[in-house]
Amino acid sequence: MTWKVKIEIVDILGSGKCSVRQQVGDVFYYPEDRGNICPSAFHILYPWILVMQSGGNLYVDDEDSISLGCADFKHQVVFRLTRTLIND
């Protein structure tokens, strides 16, 4: 099975402004857009992306999506990762 992972910014805590100018509503797809995601945030997201891409278990209520925050403690960006099965 092949999975596509969508990465969407759903909230920015603190002042509401990301330090690297990402905005609520920005959408990225892995692997196509990986160079457009903040490197610090990508470091946090990448292990979860790999689990989702391989069809692994997320151990959450919704097995096809998860919300995660970046490491910026002053302006934490909240990401929603969603996987979609792609027909081979």
> pTM of this prediction?
0.90
Going residue by residue through the chain, which has 88 residues, state the pLDDT in tens, using 9 for 90 and above: 789 999 999 999 998 999 899 999 999 999 999 899 999 999 999 999 999 999 888 887 788 999 999 999 889 999 999 999 987 6
Is the separation of the CB atoms in 29 and 86 below 8 Å?
no
Burial 47-63 (b: 16+ CB within 10 A, else e): ebbebbbeeeeeeeeee
Measured CA to CA, the distance from residue 65 to residue 49 in angstroms comes to 10
Q: Which tokens go with 81?
A: 């990762």
Measured CA to CA, the distance from residue 6 to residue 28 in angstroms comes to 6
